[in-house]
């Protein structure tokens, strides 16, 4: 962008997506925005009671108290990173996974604060080596960038009993991660002509089983349920030990397809949900390939508030990132020592 006025317009513009709202995908493949923020809590009963009191004070919405994931949830507040259903589903869905400090700090401020400083994030693994500390942010940024979850485009069939995780947990996690379960019991014949990515097979199922033989014959890789859990909780880590019947090559092919789905996912507008309007699409921080200073969220120029004009180049930041950048700049300026001029 060449002119100063256009640059100023870009920097001052704010995406219409409210800070207290996030992108939601409905069952018809379109986006509904804005979506109200709903908190779901994990931890000891007394702590959850304390957190609910804070949320009521701040007039926040809280999902009903349950061990199961709630599809309306947008923010999980948890005292630790453990492989619970709530964590698995929240990560798969790309929802915010926050430390309790978020609520205490918001309570002190008297309003909901920016989430990112309180997001569970780091390097390496948690205690127990069951979760990568970078998993919550990876999947949250994927949804922020594309509007899709970790299982986008994946189609699976389930054969046999699911114990850990249970079948219901698996159903919820795959659904909120934008994957599809084609069937949970035989017969599966009508799906063999479809693009089935994985067959989740129960532990102890023999390779001589008739349906397993059919999966093999149709080149459908068989995996345990732990494959999907590990894929979400430890992205980038080897998954081979969860592949059954020596079908590693086929499993790798399906995994690469899943990863490509994420790369090729159309970036819908965070405001109107459309990706096919003939209006320039702004990408927070750059051109969509390198977001060094932004989050990568996409917004049509005329969906910004106020609308952006003359957006032929230059950097644009969404309201959230622009605010964070301004705050950092102000903090840096305040930290510089003042030099008094001598007269």
How would DSSP label each residue in 64-100?
PS-SS--TT--EEEESS----HHHHHHHHHT-EEE-T
Number of CB atoms found within 10 A of residue 30's CB:
13
Q: What is the mean pLDDT of residues 97-108?
A: 97
Pairing label, strands 155-159, 31-36: unpaired
- Under the banding of pLDDT at 50, 70 and 90, the label for residue 5 is very low
User: For residues 155 and 182, is the Cβ–Cβ distance under 8 A?
Assistant: yes
Q: Which helix (H) or strand (E) holds 246?
A: none
Residues whose CB falls within 8 Å of the CB of residue 152, separated by 6 or more in sequence, listed in order: 146, 177, 178, 179, 258, 261, 262, 265
User: For residues 39 and 55, is the Cβ–Cβ distance under 8 A?
Assistant: yes
Q: Residue 161 maps to which CATH number?
A: 3.40.50.10190
Q: What is the mean pLDDT of residues 303-326?
A: 70
Is residue 208 domain-resident? yes
Based on the fold, state whether residues 29 and 124 are members of the same structural domain: yes
Q: What is the mean pLDDT of residues 67-88?
A: 95
- Under the banding of pLDDT at 50, 70 and 90, the label for residue 15 is very low
Based on the fold, state whether residues 290 and 275 are members of the same structural domain: yes
Comparing 92-106, 145-159, 309-323, the range with the smallest average pLDDT is 309-323
Based on the fold, state whether residues 124 and 207 are members of the same structural domain: no
Based on the fold, state whether residues 52 and 164 are members of the same structural domain: no
- Under the banding of pLDDT at 50, 70 and 90, the label for residue 202 is very high
Domains contained in the chain, number = 3
pLDDT of 161 higher than 60:
yes
Comparing 195-209, 220-234, 255-269, the range with the smallest average pLDDT is 255-269
pLDDT of 3 higher than 60:
no
Write out the E strands in the chain: 14-15, 21-25, 31-36, 38-42, 61-62, 75-78, 96-98, 155-159, 180-183, 198-201, 222-223, 281-283, 298-300, 304-305
Based on the fold, state whether residues 32 and 139 are members of the same structural domain: yes
Is residue 334 domain-resident? no
**Mean pLDDT over each residue of the chain, to the nearest integer:** 82
- Under the banding of pLDDT at 50, 70 and 90, the label for residue 338 is low
Is residue 340 domain-resident? no
State the pLDDT at residue 27.
35
Q: 106, 126, 146: which is the final residue of a domain?
A: 146
- Distance, CA of 51 to CA of 270 (rounded, Å): 30
Is residue 338 domain-resident? no
- Distance, CA of 233 to CA of 151 (rounded, Å): 12
Is residue 96 domain-resident? yes
Q: 264, 293, 319: which is the final residue of a domain?
A: 264
Is residue 342 domain-resident? no
Closest CA to 177 of 71, 92, 234: 92
Q: What is the mean pLDDT of residues 157-174?
A: 95
Select the more confidently predicted residue: 5 or 216: 216
CA contacts within 13 A on the Cβ side of 228: 38
Based on the fold, state whether residues 44 and 129 are members of the same structural domain: yes
Q: What are the structure tokens assigned to 329, written together?
A: 């700049």
pLDDT of 156 higher than 70:
yes
Q: 264, 288, 304: which is the final residue of a domain?
A: 264
- Under the banding of pLDDT at 50, 70 and 90, the label for residue 190 is very high
Based on the fold, state whether residues 166 and 279 are members of the same structural domain: no
pLDDT of 121 higher than 60:
yes
Q: What are the structure tokens assigned to 316, written together?
A: 């644009």
Q: What is the mean pLDDT of residues 301-326?
A: 71
Select the more confidently predicted residue: 18 or 95: 95
Is residue 339 domain-resident? no
Select the more confidently predicted residue: 292 or 105: 105
- Under the banding of pLDDT at 50, 70 and 90, the label for residue 196 is very high
- Distance, CA of 221 to CA of 251 (rounded, Å): 5
Based on the fold, state whether residues 33 and 63 are members of the same structural domain: yes
Percent above pLDDT 90 for the chain: 59
Domain residue limits at 200: 155-264
Is residue 118 domain-resident? yes
Based on the fold, state whether residues 26 and 121 are members of the same structural domain: yes
Based on the fold, state whether residues 168 and 257 are members of the same structural domain: yes
Based on the fold, state whether residues 137 and 214 are members of the same structural domain: no
State the pLDDT at residue 339.
53
Based on the fold, state whether residues 133 and 227 are members of the same structural domain: no
pLDDT of 99 higher than 50:
yes
């Amino acid at each position: 962008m060449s002119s100063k006025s256009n640059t100023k317009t870009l920097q001052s513009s704010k995406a219409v997506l409210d800070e207290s709202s996030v992108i939601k995908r409905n069952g018809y493949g379109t986006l509904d925005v804005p979506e109200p923020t709903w908190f779901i809590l994990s931890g000891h009963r007394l702590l959850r009671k304390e957190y609910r009191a804070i949320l009521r004070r701040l007039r926040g919405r809280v999902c009903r108290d349950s061990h199961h994931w709630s599809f309306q949830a947008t923010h999980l507040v948890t005292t630790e990173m453990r492989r619970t259903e709530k964590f698995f589903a929240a990560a798969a869905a790309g929802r915010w996974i926050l430390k309790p400090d978020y609520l205490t700090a918001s309570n002190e401020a008297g309003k909901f604060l920016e989430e990112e400083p309180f997001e569970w994030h780091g390097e390496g693994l948690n205690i127990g080596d069951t979760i990568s500390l970078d998993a919550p942010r990876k999947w949250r940024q994927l949804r922020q960038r594309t509007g899709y979850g970790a299982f986008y485009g994946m189609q699976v069939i389930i054969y046999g009993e699911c114990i850990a995780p249970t079948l219901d947990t698996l159903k919820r996690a795959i659904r909120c991660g934008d994957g599809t379960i084609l069937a949970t019991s035989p017969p599966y014949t009508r799906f063999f002509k479809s693009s089935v990515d994985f067959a989740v097979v129960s532990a102890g199922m023999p390779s001589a089983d008739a349906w397993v033989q059919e999966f093999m014959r149709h080149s459908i890789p068989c995996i345990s349920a732990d494959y999907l859990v590990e894929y979400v909780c430890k992205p980038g880590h080897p998954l081979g030990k969860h592949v059954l019947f020596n079908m590693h090559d086929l499993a790798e092919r399906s995994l690469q397809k899943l990863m490509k789905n994420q790369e090729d996912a159309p970036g819908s507008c965070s405001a109107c949900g459309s990706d096919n309007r003939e209006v320039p699409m702004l990408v927070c921080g750059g051109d969509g390939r390198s977001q060094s200073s932004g989050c990568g969220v996409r917004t049509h120029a005329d969906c910004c508030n106020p609308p952006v004009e003359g957006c032929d180049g230059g950097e644009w930041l969404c309201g959230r990132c622009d605010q964070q950048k301004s705050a950092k700049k102000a903090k840096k300026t305040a930290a510089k020592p003042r030099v008094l001029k001598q007269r």
